[in-house]
A and B are shown apart, each in its own frame.
Chain A
Amino acid sequence: MQLLDPHIFALNILQPILDAHGFQIVSQNMGNFLHGTLLTLEITALSVLFGMFLGLLAALLKMSRYKVLSIPGVIYIDFFRGTPLFVQILLFYFGILPLVFDASSFQAAVIVCSLNSGAYIAEIVRAGIQAVEKGQMEAARSLGMNNRQAMWHVILPQAYKVVIPPMVNEFIAMLKDTSLVAVIGAEELTHSGRILVSVTYEAAWIWGTVALIYLLLTRVLSMLGDYLERRLATE
């Protein structure tokens, strides 16, 4: 009962927190956290966006009847789903990209995360396409549409409903996984945390704040996903 008294609450609970060194460090460096958060969102959004194009392309390749198309699709998807993102980041940043161009850590982060996301999205898209009733393709083809026209006008517009919910999950997963690019020094939320901890030693406060920000972002995204799912269901 006493705890609920605003005066006692402020004096005994709030005041010690506000006085803590860690809290002051966190509040003084809000700008850094915000900067990291924005970059995390940017890397995630770009990666999922490029991932959607790559994923759609890879899904269509994998489903092709022609082996010259389907085998590259399968290799791409299997490689990026079958190896850890952490290793992919190291491989591309230190191994492959330097052979191609002088990539910044941000560019490398977006490239690797896009490729990784694309592989997962490819499987999402493929499942969505296969969920469309077989008769739809037959009806389209019987009218004289070629495979591409039937895909574009008949199959994909129906597949997207099935694709949206797992796509939101992919977005959430990617948001968390971008934390791995801190290892190559791409400035994002986890990287901001590392820098701050190394100069202030307030590990609990800083990593706690970082975790809280990730939690907040993923909660908002999953609420958005639930909302989308409900709207699609009533459509």
Chain B
Amino acid sequence: MITVKDLYKSFGKLQVLNGINCHISPREVVCVIGPSGSGKSTFLRCVNQLEKPDSGTVTIDGVELTSPRTDINKVRQQVGMVFQHFNLFPHRTTLENITMAPVVIKKTNKAGAQLVARELLRKVGLSDKDDVYPAQLSGGQKQRVAIARALAMQPKVMLFDEPTSALDPEMVGEVLEVMKDLAKEGMTMMVVTHEMGFAREVGQRVLFMDEGLIVEENTPEQIFENPTNPRTQSFLSKVL
């Protein structure tokens, strides 16, 4: 589904990604963990080309995103992204946040898009919040709307960049619940997270990143019980 080959990325003099290779299969849920500044967000953002890698390739569903001939907007419609800080559109209601992309991009008619949007709101447990503006929502509710907004484009893959890091602790659960449901339905997911509990329970594979490299990858049981790399061991001993 997603294949990443020899991905390099630097910001000025700072080398952030040092040759990332990985493959993610359809319906797989992969969690990415690692210390702050190790390049997790940059990696994820290279996957949908929000950052342009210096070299290397990203292929999704057979389409090479890094090729100049690829219509990146077309590919991004199939790759949903959820941000740490939600980035909901503050000038639009919850429902409009969700219908905007299908209406603007796919020219879906408004009524049809609203029908889908209401169904998605129900799915994330916010049926009664269709008419409010993002400013009136709690952090957890905002993130659930952001997930619904991404799902409205019917993506084949969902990318999550620390979706619960900006939330008060009591709201983390409600967002993780929605993500768990999504995983159960068979969505292909890449999740950068500090929630080791989630990685362990929902993740089928865990990638440990350090200094721009995937240093270790394995099943959650193996990574958390028997990490082999010393850097993984030292990181986990600090966070667990």
What's the dominant secondary structure at chain A's contact region?
helix
Asked if B231 is at the interface of the complex by the 8 Å CB criterion, the answer is no
Q: Which residues of B contact A138 (CB under 8 A)?
A: 50, 83, 87
| Contact, CB under 8 Å: A149 / B91 | no
In the bound complex, how far is the Cα of B105 from the Cα of A153, in angstroms? 11
Most A C-beta atoms less than 10 A away, residue of B50, B90, B104: B104
| Contact, CB under 8 Å: A153 / B100 | yes
Minimum distance in angstroms from A187 CB to a CB of chain B: 42
| Contact, CB under 8 Å: B105 / A145 | yes
| Contact, CB under 8 Å: B76 / A144 | yes
Q: Which residues of A contact B91 (CB under 8 A)?
A: 157-158
Interface code B58-88, partner A: CB below 8 Å = 1, 0 otherwise? 0000000000000001111111110101011
Residues B27-80 near A (CB distance < 8 A): 48, 50, 73-80
Closest-by-CB residue of A relative to B100 is: A153
Interface residues on A, range: 10 to 19
Asked if A38 is at the interface of the complex by the 8 Å CB criterion, the answer is no
Closest-by-CB residue of B relative to A136 is: B87
Q: Which residues of A contact B90 (CB under 8 A)?
A: 158
Asked if B198 is at the interface of the complex by the 8 Å CB criterion, the answer is no
| Contact, CB under 8 Å: B50 / A141 | yes
Asked if A14 is at the interface of the complex by the 8 Å CB criterion, the answer is no
| Contact, CB under 8 Å: B89 / A154 | yes
Asked if B150 is at the interface of the complex by the 8 Å CB criterion, the answer is yes
| Contact, CB under 8 Å: A142 / B50 | yes
| Contact, CB under 8 Å: B100 / A142 | no
Minimum distance in angstroms from A150 CB to a CB of chain B: 9
| Contact, CB under 8 Å: B48 / A142 | yes
Asked if B149 is at the interface of the complex by the 8 Å CB criterion, the answer is yes
Asked if B101 is at the interface of the complex by the 8 Å CB criterion, the answer is yes
Our pick among A144, A146, A153 for the contact of B153 (Cβ within 8 Å) is A144
Interface code B146-165, partner A: CB below 8 Å = 1, 0 otherwise? 10011001000000000000
Q: Which residues of A contact B89 (CB under 8 A)?
A: 136, 139-140, 154, 158
Residues B117-169 near A (CB distance < 8 A): 146, 149-150, 153
In the bound complex, how far is the Cα of B88 from the Cα of A133, in angstroms? 11
| Contact, CB under 8 Å: A144 / B73 | yes
Minimum distance in angstroms from B46 CB to a CB of chain A: 13
Residues A113-136 near B (CB distance < 8 A): 133, 135-136
Closest-by-CB residue of A relative to B84 is: A135
In the bound complex, how far is the Cα of B86 from the Cα of A109, in angstroms? 48
In the bound complex, how far is the Cα of B100 from the Cα of A139, in angstroms? 12
| Contact, CB under 8 Å: B87 / A143 | no
- A–B Cβ pairs within 8 angstroms, 8 of them: A133-B87, A138-B50, A139-B89, A142-B80, A143-B77, A143-B101, A144-B77, A145-B105
Chain A interface (Cβ < 8 Å from any Cβ of B): 133, 135-136, 138-146, 149, 153-154, 157-158
